[in-house]
A and B are shown apart, each in its own frame.
Chain A
Amino acid sequence: MAFVKGINPPLSSFTADLSNLDPNKVPKPPGLQGNQSGAFIGPGGARAAGSATVSFNSATEAGHGKPTVEQQNTAIRAGNAPIEASIAELETKQKHLQKLFSHELAKGDGVLTKGELQRLATESTDPAQKEAALWLLSRPDIYASLPKKGTTMGGDGAVLGMFGTGVDVYASSNFVADLTSQIASQKKMLKPLIDVPAPNVPAPGAGSTPPVATTNGTPTPATDSTAATGTPKNFSSGVAGLGEAIDGINGEISALIEDTKKNPANANANQAKISQLSNQMTTLSALMNQIFTMQSNLSKMLSEMAMTAVRNMR
């Protein structure tokens, strides 16, 4: 795993005794001897590569088990955010263009020249109209994207200049209607948030499970639902999920490659994501291979034990 190396200015004056730096010499805290401190170590206390103790406690180790409603909603919100931003942009566009095209200047010939827009922006007594004109003047990208008089969409053959030198906006109610349809289509893409479940009120007479007392009398913190229900401990029970994760990452990489083909402007952002996903996929594939190896070794070991036991019976 590659980490970005930090810059660490030397501490030349420091002379503390660092003779115990060997991780094998890290003393094990007395409370952790023999995994007696269940409240701290939890079900998964283990000795690290040195002699320090690693604590795995489902109550403090977040990130396993079913995603919380909040986490799922965070993911949904993250997915909805760009769509909502796009809808807001379209709605602003719709609101302002509707306002402008309903003005008598536009009603006359279905056209708003830049000069007329400037007139509206400075002289209109309708604040909304004024705001709309200012908005369009500040957005040459949108102005340029509107159907122009004299184009095939405008259709009247008028001589056109460039934006800023007299290009006409073709006032088309169809164009505004098209925006309405785009907004409706975008809104369909929004995913609804998940409702937060109501507090679980126990039925009358139903008991709750008391916390389990540990050897030192400290109640073990409540565990998450996954840990509580438990999974038979073996090497491979999570391999299916691991395989699914690898497939999922692979699918996401393919989707990003396709997106890059369709939208070259996204190439750099997509490449960064692809790179990260590829690293994650490589890491998880290596983990899966390692688990298969462990499983195979365990099978061999069990077979050898069984054969030895049979031989000893003679």
Chain B
Amino acid sequence: MRIELKNLIGLDGNGPTFAQTYGITFDQGVEWAEQGLEMARDGRVDEARVILEGLVTLNPRSAGYWFALGTVYEKQELIDDAVQAYTQATSRDGRNIEAWMRLGLLKLKRGDGAGLEALRAVVKDTRAENAELVARAKSILATSRAA
């Protein structure tokens, strides 16, 4: 069944994504995302941005794409855009601890106290694999309290 485009996500917030409607698979999306991130690491940030912006258009529900796009924006020093991308990532997946961390740090860098809230979200994480990140967030929060 072809779903009418006007009902797609992005126009009314509901309904299937472009990726779902046009059969672009999870594996394919991740493959492109990985290529984009490799490009960014090689310094080809503009090309990476094209790929990741395309991916969030195809599937705006993916926290991973938003986070990856945020890191590319950071490379380009588009801090406001990076904050928006990380905010999207955390709203799609509240357990995306890396996105919370980046969001918190960027907000603090801009002098926005809401960054502390984001770091508090990090320290709530109890997964063992995130212990180092949690410790770092705790350290920054402790410093801010001392100040």
How many angstroms from the CA of A291 to the CA of B58 in the assembled complex? 14
Return B5 CB to nearest CB of chain A, in Å.
4
Return A196 CB to nearest CB of chain B, in Å.
15
Interface residue from A15, A64, A72, A242 paired with B26 (Cβ < 8 Å): A64
Q: By the criterion CB–CB under 8 Å, are A248 and B22 in contact?
A: yes
Say yes or no: is B144 at the interface (Cβ < 8 Å to chain A): yes
Q: How many residues of A contact B (CB 8 A)?
A: 90
Say yes or no: is A265 at the interface (Cβ < 8 Å to chain B): no
Q: By the criterion CB–CB under 8 Å, are B98 and A280 in contact?
A: no
Render B89-114 as a binary contact track against A, CB cut-off 8 A, 1 for contact.
00011011110011001111111111
Q: What chain B residues lie within 8 Å of A210 (beta carbons)? A: none
Q: By the criterion CB–CB under 8 Å, are B109 and A242 in contact?
A: no
Q: What chain B residues lie within 8 Å of A10 (beta carbons)? A: 111-112
Binding site for A on B (CB under 8 A): 1, 3-12, 14-35, 37, 40-41, 45, 47-48, 50-51, 53-65, 67-69, 71-72, 74-75, 80-81, 83-85, 92-93, 95-98, 101-102, 105-114, 127-133, 136, 140, 143-144, 147
Binding site for B on A (CB under 8 A): 1, 3-6, 8-18, 20-21, 23, 26-27, 29-32, 37, 40, 43-44, 46-50, 52-58, 60-67, 71-72, 74-76, 78-79, 194, 223-224, 226-227, 230-231, 233-235, 237-238, 241-242, 244-245, 248-249, 251-252, 273, 276-277, 280, 283-284, 286-291, 293-294
Question: Can you show 26 pairs from A to B with CB atoms below 8 A apart?
Answer: A1-B53, A10-B111, A10-B112, A15-B147, A21-B105, A27-B132, A31-B129, A44-B64, A48-B71, A49-B48, A50-B74, A54-B71, A63-B9, A63-B19, A64-B20, A64-B62, A71-B14, A72-B1, A75-B15, A224-B26, A230-B25, A233-B27, A233-B31, A248-B22, A277-B11, A286-B54
